[in-house]
């Protein structure tokens, strides 16, 4: 498993497409209404959107990911880093930020490689 993180609009997906042998058809893009992952594609983009949608339905995202650990092993997972900036005032957004962070911690532990992308430049923070 490979985890790619970074802030909004930092070029995470472009970085993955440029440095790996993937194209747009290989990418499953999580939308704010996505409740399940499509494990048939090698790249999962915008994992934070899945977490948001699951939170709205009362689904434990960390437990969901842990349950599907084996299916995630060969995936490249792209997730926005929500930890920077002002802590949200509203409870739902604050919980989303916290849950995304907890999922990121677990994914980073499970991943063979973690890359942070800033301004389109990837830095390995957990090498193979």
Contact 114, 128 (CB under 8 A): no
Specify if 95 maps to a domain. Answer: no
pLDDT tens digits for range 39-83: 999 999 999 999 999 999 999 999 999 999 999 999 999 999 998
Specify if 56 maps to a domain. Answer: yes
Domain that holds residue 3: 1-81
For 79, the 3-state DSSP assignment is strand
- Residue 25: pLDDT band with limits 50, 70, 90: very high
Q: Give the largest CA-CA distance in the chain.
A: 41
pLDDT at 47: 98
Burial of 44 (0-12, 13-18, 19+ CB in 10 A): buried
Specify if 103 maps to a domain. Answer: no
Per the structure, the count of domains in the chain is 1
Specify if 97 maps to a domain. Answer: no
pTM of the model as a whole: 0.95
For 42, what's the count of Cα atoms within 13 Å in the CB-facing half-sphere? Answer: 11
């Amino acid at each position: 498993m490979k985890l790619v993180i970074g802030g909004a609009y930092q070029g995470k997906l472009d970085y993955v497409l440029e440095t790996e042998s993937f194209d747009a058809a290989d990418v499953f893009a999580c939308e704010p209404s996505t409740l399940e992952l499509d494990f048939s594609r090698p790249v999962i983009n915008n994992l934070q959107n899945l977490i948001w949608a699951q939170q709205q339905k009362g689904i434990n995202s960390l437990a969901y990911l842990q349950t599907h650990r084996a299916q995630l092993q060969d995936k490249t997972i792209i997730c926005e880093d929500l930890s920077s900036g002002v802590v949200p005032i509203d409870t739902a957004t604050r919980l989303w930020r916290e849950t995304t962070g907890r999922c990121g911690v677990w994914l980073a532990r499970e991943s063979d490689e973690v890359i942070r992308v800033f301004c389109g430049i990837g830095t390995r923070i957990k090498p193979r």
